Amino acid sequence: MCATNSFLKSLGVEIYASGHRRWPDAVKALAVADTLEPGATVNAVAARYGVLPNQLSAWRRLAKQGELVLPAAELDEPVFAPLVVCDVPEAPQEPDIPASEEVIRILSGEVRIELAPGTPAARIAEIVHALGTSPC
C-alpha cells in the first residue's frame, strides 16, 4: 500500500492520516483516460490507483456528462476529424454586444463564451466537449 500512496502523492492526491484521500479533478481525469487505453479494464486501472472499480466508474460517468475534462491524448501522428457542415439558424444580434470578427463565439442555449482569435483548436474542442454540445 505504501507504493500506491507514494504514486498517488506524486500525482497530487492528498492522503490524510485517517486514510481519507482528496482527489484533484486532474488525477480523476488521468485515471479515466487510463481506462480508455486499448486493452485496459476498469478493474485493473482501479487497482493501480487504489480505488474501488465503482468509484472509477462514477468518475467515467462524470467525464461522459462533460463534468470532468479528460487530458488530450498524446499521439505520434496527426489525427483528422470529419468536417460537418450544417445550417445554423440566424440568431438575433444582441444590441449591447457589438459584432466583431476578432472574437470566437461559442453559443450553447443561454451560455455565451467569447474567446480570443488565437485560441488553439484543441482548447475550443475541450470547451465544446465540457458544454456537452454536439457539432450541429
Domain residue ranges of the chain, discontinuous segments joined by +? 2-64, 78-136
Strand runs labelled E in the chain:
14-15, 21-22, 104-108, 111-115
CB 57 within 8 A of CB 42: yes
* Nearest Cα residue to 129 out of 52, 62, 66: 66
Secondary structure (3-state) at 136 = coil
Amino acid at 3: A
Distance CA 29, CA 26 (A): 5
Secondary structure (3-state) at 25 = helix
- What is the number of other CB atoms lying within 10 angstroms of the CB of residue 59? 23
pLDDT at 99: 53
pLDDT bracket for residue 8 (50, 70, 90): confident
Distance CA 64, CA 95 (A): 36
Q: How many CA atoms lie within 13 A of 115 on its CB side?
A: 16
Higher pLDDT, 32 or 118: 32
Please give the model's pTM, rounded to 2 decimal places: 0.52
pLDDT at 133: 57
Q: What average pLDDT does the chain have?
A: 82
What percentage of the chain has pLDDT greater than the value 70?
Answer: 85
pLDDT at 97: 53
pLDDT bracket for residue 127 (50, 70, 90): confident
**Mean pLDDT of the region 48-66:** 93
